[in-house]
Amino acid sequence: MTPATAAGASAGPAAPRRRKSVTGTRRTVAALFLLPALVLLGALVVYPIGYSVVRSFYNASGDGFAGFDNYKALFTDDGIRTALKNNIIWVVFAPTVATALGLVFAVLTERVRWGTAFKLVVFMPMAISMLAAGIIFRLVYDQDPDRGVANAVWVGVHDTFAQSSAFPKAHPGRDSPLKPDQGGFITSATVRTGESVALPLVGVAPDQMPKSAKRAVRAEPQPGRINGTAWQDFTRGKGVGKLGTVDPSEFGYAGMRIEAVKDGKVVASATAADDGTFTLPAQADGARLRLPASNFKAPYNGVDWLGPSLVTPAIIGAYVWMWAGFAMVLIAAGLAGVPRELLEAARVDGANEWQVFRRVTVPLLAPVLAVVAVTLMINVLKVFDLVFIIAPGSSQDDANVLALELYRKGFSEGQPGIASAIAVFLLLLVIPVMLFNMRRLRREVRR
């Protein structure tokens, strides 16, 4: 053994060198840099979660152990059960509709000239806060068609096919020959041919009369017919005009429908001219004249979008308006990576555009669609702002969701124990969805 070998043997194995991180930074230094972030993470995430879990086992006052009573309330309290039911509706429909619209928009923007501008317009609602969007859609869904855009459009379409009456508030005045009948009015006595019948009404403001209405004219009697006048028997000014008589300043009820009724059956009918006059044939002899209820039908006021039955779908519509752009952008990014040769090969093989979309494009985009849908599911589980702002007080119980019920229990009703239990329950609902999304993202990275 040489002296050098002996020296090496006596020295023993060399001490291992301290390993460095991938970036060349020592672990101690890296830990020091991460420490502020870890402290914030613990203070803002870990501690609140742990405190909520502990607090969920205490009663409302916080000085007594309640066990699992707060968690039992999640399935017995009517308000929480309604919120849970609505959350299921949200999770099923909101992500599905938003993802489907995003897919359609992403595919269409590749085929239009102004695709970039279209993407900008669709994505623009994402720049609006939930608070602002809630205020916007509270106005959109307003019941008054003069304020609410949704009802303005709906009423416009409805009135195109079913015109509302111009005389919803018309009714007989004093000493009138008419009496109420099934929502309309009917004469007390029968009429005969050769007579001139007066059908005076009041209750319609002059500025609410139909534009076609003209000065009322007293109908002259004719043999073999029944003539009459339906008019607004009211003249402004004290002592001006005579009750039951057509005065020069009074207007006829243009378009008023008059029916001749015998033994409960309509034997003849007529429509008043612009001056209120009408004519019935001889078949009306011995009948009573009826003004049917259709003449007095109130104007169609649209749909009660924020009523108990439609408030949840209406709010989901506002959510889709905001998040369809988010889905479109992610799907468009995935669509850009789809091999064009596969699409062209399908077209060469004779597939039409619908078949290419359904059998080629959608399957290739399935991973992206899954990520978008799962991300939106996580988002809708926490929805609060839109429901709180859009739903009026009368319908808020019907639109209730878990996040809103958490707020109400914790701050309005003074039950922090149940509020903490709802928070923990929401966390348990979100965790599986988050894990699914993370696994899928990792799988995509490996590919």
Q: What is the mean pLDDT of residues 297-305?
A: 83
Give the pLDDT confidence score for residue 7 in this predicted structure: 47
CA distance readout (Å), 93 to 73, 90, 177, 229: 26, 6, 58, 57
Residue 297 · residue 168 · CB < 8 Å:
yes
Give the pLDDT confidence score for residue 168 in this predicted structure: 83
Instruction: Order the strands of the 226-232 sheet from edge to edge.
Output: 196-201, 226-232, 277-280
Following DSSP, what letter does each residue of 10-73 receive, concatenated? HH-SPPPPPPB-TTS-BHHHHHHHHHHHHHHHIIIIIHHHHHHHHHTTB-TTSSSB-TTHHHHH
Least confident of 133-137, 312-316, 329-333, 432-436: 432-436
Q: What is the pLDDT of residues 107-128, one digit of tens each?
A: 888 877 787 888 888 889 988 8
Q: What is the mean pLDDT of residues 382-405?
A: 92
pTM confidence score: 0.74
| Rounded Cα–Cα distance for residues 387 and 389 (Å) | 6
What HEC string does 359-379 produce? HHHHHHCHHHHHHHHHHHHHH
Highest mean pLDDT out of 92-96, 153-157, 297-301, 425-429: 92-96
| Rounded Cα–Cα distance for residues 68 and 174 (Å) | 71
Q: What is the pLDDT of residues 159-197, one digit of tens each?
A: 777 666 778 888 898 888 899 988 899 998 999 999 899
